[in-house]
Amino acid sequence: GFRAVFTVSQTALTPALPSPRLVPDLLTWKRGQQNYCFTDQVIYNGAVTRSPESMLSVALTRLEELVAMDTQNGTGDEIACVKFLAQSLAKFHPDRVRVETVKRSRGKPGSGYVLAVWGQPRILLNVHIDTVPAAAGWTTGPHTLRDAGDRVIGLGACDIKGAAACILAALEHVGPGNVAVLFSGDEEHGSEVMPEIIRRGHHTDAPMAIVCEPTGCKIGRQHRGIIAYGCEFTGRGGHSSLADVTEAPLFQAARLAAAVGEYGGRHRT
């Protein structure tokens, strides 16, 4: 399942409304047993101008469309999904939009991205549209969104097509402000698209970016990285009866692996 939180800025309001005010406290509602909330809902004359239930309905419809697209990394059609999202974003008349394809190595099918910009972006929203492969054990089709009462189930619904659906629903309900939206592929394995975006200079000067991931609506200010290195261990040989004077390289490697694990545990945040 997923929970969406949207913030509406005053710049997104209809100019004809005289001085609408923003309510900073949470507006919550339930669907089945699941709680949902929005922040900073726009109210005018005491009424919420946008129905949270209708926004949720739009988000679920968009999510159903996205889940139906097979974007399994390495086998799915990520380019078709990027083009679909480009058409969806075009409905909101971005000032600039760029749709690009990216060739991938290791014989994988191509991927791509779409970047849409409105005004002078104060924030960039990024969502990857590829998914992990569908594992065994699905009781229903992984590309058919299923309503399970308190959640919806489908491949990629949580990681992270749900966020893409929520962004589209927010654009439809409140309209774009000074924002940039980047939908990109090839995140789950290989990650060849994002470096290509940077290499081509297809980015914005937004001072802030939110990379959407299933964090339970919590903001994380760090990103997991990876480092790869090689080590060669040498020992001191000798007769098998003289274990006390020989030094096995295997044990040296094991001690290093244990030390690295302990170091990582102490510095994990």
Q: What are phi and psi of 104, to 5 degrees?
A: -115, 155
Q: Is-catalytic flag, 187?
A: yes
Q: What are phi and psi of 15, to 5 degrees?
A: -60, -25
The position carrying tokens 């774009």 is 176
Report the alpha-carbon distance of residue 76 to residue 92 in Å, rounded: 27
Active-site residue, from 187, 196, 247, 262: 187
Does the bond joining 160 to the residue before it have cis omega, within 30 degrees of 0?
A: yes
**Rg of the chain in Å (alpha carbons):** 24
Tell whether the torsion through CA atoms of 184, 117, 213 and 88 is positive or negative.
negative
Cα angle 251, 254, 256 (rounded to 5 degrees) comes to 115
Q: What are phi and psi of 10, to 5 degrees?
A: -65, -25
Is 78 in a helix, a strand, or coil?
helix
Report the alpha-carbon distance of residue 220 to residue 171 in Å, rounded: 24
Closest CA to 66 of 56, 78, 55, 74: 78
Q: Which residues does the annotation mark as catalytic? A: 187
